[in-house]
């Protein structure tokens, strides 16, 4: 009975650790994909959709320690028209420094990145598919339309929009969401479409040095720019994704904790069986002057040690499974992609604390069955 109870705890603790390691791996895997298009930090205006970024502001930002590079960005919803098809998308106008901040050019699967100061664009595969255009297709006119700013009545449809003819020179493949909505262009083209001033932009994207302290950089930015910006890191830019992953992680943790609780019923049962089996010996100890409280502590420590040792063995097995998955790709998602896992000390502590706490509680409940009446019966 004791071996069965220990085996249940070992399997449950190993399973909990492996599942938590898988979700940690999935989180890193998702963040890895976002790193191709999202910066380390992004500065958004605290008021309005755009702001003036002067030469003095540029020098102030460059002088902040641990900022390796930054890029000026304009983002706005636009209408893309290809022959008789229209699509609503997000135009992202970037400067020549953008490729030093992100690695979006490495995600281009066909064509190349646009040339500076040109009317070339790079689109997602989803947009290309929906509008039926490819790269360097001069036979199909591709147009961008943005409503003109201002007030009053519209005299004509043509006068209500700023427009530009563009040539798609590249297609990127990141994920389904970005592939279906994002188009990159030169920042000057975006300013022309939106009627922005030369020093007017909608965001700044920043790359930090390898060992930079994000909190220190945030503080320096807020000090120099007097809280003009909302500062977001990569995880905050993808908050919906990470909220989903964290919620699923918590749900899986609670489900496997319930499995551990069920497994610990075997521990309770094993302790009770040992109490009944050793009843005559317990009676002898009682007659020799041992108090019921002391006898209870014997079974309490026995159950606690059994749970602790079993939990430690289970975590060790889980560590080996995760390590072998990282080294030898035992389980594959696709023929080329192994199932992502990550060894995390925090997950080890979570599993051990959960097992130890529940094991001590179960041992406490089981040992409380020892009473003076039970011993003497």
Do 132 and 54 share a structural domain? yes
pLDDT at 43: 97
The model's pLDDT over 227-259, given as tens digits with 9 standing for 90+, comes to 899 999 988 998 888 888 889 889 999 999 999
pLDDT category, 208, cuts 50, 70, 90? very high
pLDDT category, 324, cuts 50, 70, 90? very high
* Residue 48, C-beta contacts closer than 8 angstroms, at least 6 positions apart: none
Do 44 and 16 share a structural domain? no
Are 324 and 330 contacting, i.e. CB atoms less than 8 angstroms apart?
Answer: yes
pLDDT at 150: 64
**Higher pLDDT residue, 290 or 79?**
79
Q: Which of 233, 254, 270 is the last residue of a domain?
A: 233
The model's pLDDT over 344-368, given as tens digits with 9 standing for 90+, comes to 999 999 999 999 999 999 999 988 8
Look at residue 220 and tell me whether its pLDDT is greater than 60: yes
pLDDT at 245: 82
Look at residue 377 and tell me whether its pLDDT is greater than 90: no
Do 292 and 148 share a structural domain? no
Average pLDDT over residues 289-314: 91
Q: Which of 233, 268, 298 is the last residue of a domain?
A: 233
Express as a percent the part of the chain with pLDDT over 90: 66
Domain of 163? 39-233
Do 184 and 55 share a structural domain? yes
The model's pLDDT over 109-152, given as tens digits with 9 standing for 90+, comes to 999 999 999 999 999 999 999 999 989 887 777 999 998 876 65
Average pLDDT over residues 185-192: 96
* Alpha helices (H) in the chain, listed in sequence order: 2-34, 55-62, 98-101, 125-131, 176-179, 187-194, 214-225, 234-237, 239-277, 279-287, 292-328, 345-367, 372-376
Do 190 and 68 share a structural domain? yes
pLDDT category, 287, cuts 50, 70, 90? confident
- d(CA 205, CA 234) in angstroms, rounded, equals 11
Total number of residues shown for the chain: 377
Average pLDDT over residues 278-293: 83
- Structural domains of the chain, count: 2
pLDDT at 337: 86
DSSP secondary structure of 54-117: -HHHHHHHHTSTTEEEEEEEEEEEEEEEETTEEEEEEEEEE-TTHHHH--GGGGEEEE-PPPTT
Are 172 and 104 contacting, i.e. CB atoms less than 8 angstroms apart?
Answer: yes
Q: Which of 204, 233, 262 is the last residue of a domain?
A: 233
Do 8 and 104 share a structural domain? no
Do 28 and 86 share a structural domain? no
Identify the three-state secondary structure at position 164: strand
pLDDT at 154: 60
Beta bridge partners of 43: 204, 231
* Residue 156, C-beta contacts closer than 8 angstroms, at least 6 positions apart: none
**Higher pLDDT residue, 69 or 274?**
69
pLDDT at 279: 83
Ramachandran region of residue 183, left (φ > 0), alpha (ψ -120 to 50) or beta?
Answer: beta
The model's pLDDT over 22-54, given as tens digits with 9 standing for 90+, comes to 989 988 887 777 778 899 999 999 999 999 999
Do 213 and 332 share a structural domain? no
Do 85 and 197 share a structural domain? yes
Do 191 and 269 share a structural domain? no
- d(CA 344, CA 24) in angstroms, rounded, equals 8
Do 114 and 55 share a structural domain? yes
Do 164 and 70 share a structural domain? yes
pLDDT at 80: 95
Q: What is the dihedral of CA 265, 306, 7, 344, to 10 degrees?
A: 100
């Amino acid at each position: 009975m004791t071996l069965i109870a220990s085996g249940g705890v070992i399997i449950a603790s190993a399973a909990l650790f492996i599942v938590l390691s898988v979700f940690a791996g999935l989180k890193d895997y998702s963040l890895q994909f976002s790193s191709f298009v999202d910066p380390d930090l992004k500065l958004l205006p605290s008021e309005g959709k755009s702001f003036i970024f002067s030469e003095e502001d540029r020098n102030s930002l460059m002088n902040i320690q641990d900022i390796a590079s930054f890029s000026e960005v304009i983002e706005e919803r636009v209408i893309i028209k290809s022959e008789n098809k229209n699509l609503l998308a997000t135009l992202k106008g970037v400067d020549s420094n953008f490729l030093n901040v992100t690695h979006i050019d490495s995600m281009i699967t066909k064509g190349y990145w646009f040339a500076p100061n040109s009317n070339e664009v790079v689109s997602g595969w989803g947009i290309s598919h929906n509008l039926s255009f490819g790269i360097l297709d001069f036979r199909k006119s591709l147009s961008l339309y943005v409503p003109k700013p201002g007030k009053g009545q519209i005299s004509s449809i043509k006068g209500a929009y700023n427009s530009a003819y563009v040539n798609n020179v590249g297609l990127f493949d990141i994920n389904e969401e970005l592939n279906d909505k994002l188009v990159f262009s030169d920042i000057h083209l975006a300013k022309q479409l939106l009627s922005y001033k030369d020093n007017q932009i909608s965001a700044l994207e920043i790359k930090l040095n390898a060992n930079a302290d994000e909190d220190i950089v945030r503080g320096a930015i807020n000090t120099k720019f007097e809280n003009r910006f909302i500062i977001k890191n990569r995880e905050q830019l993808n908050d919906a994704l990470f909220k989903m992953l964290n919620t699923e992680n918590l749900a899986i943790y609670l489900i496997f904790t319930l499995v551990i609780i069920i497994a610990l019923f075997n521990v309770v049962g094993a302790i009770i069986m040992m109490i009944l089996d050793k009843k005559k010996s317990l009676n002898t100890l009682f007659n020799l002057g041992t108090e019921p409280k002391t006898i209870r502590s014997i079974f309490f420590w026995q159950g606690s040690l059994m749970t602790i040792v079993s939990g430690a063995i289970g975590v060790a097995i889980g560590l080996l499974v995760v390590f072998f998955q990282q080294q030898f790709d035992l389980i594959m998602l696709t023929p080329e992609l192994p199932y992502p896992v990550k060894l995390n000390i925090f997950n080890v502590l979570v599993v051990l604390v959960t097992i130890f706490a529940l094991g001590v509680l179960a041992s406490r409940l089981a040992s409380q069955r020892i009473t003076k009446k039970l011993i003497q019966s």
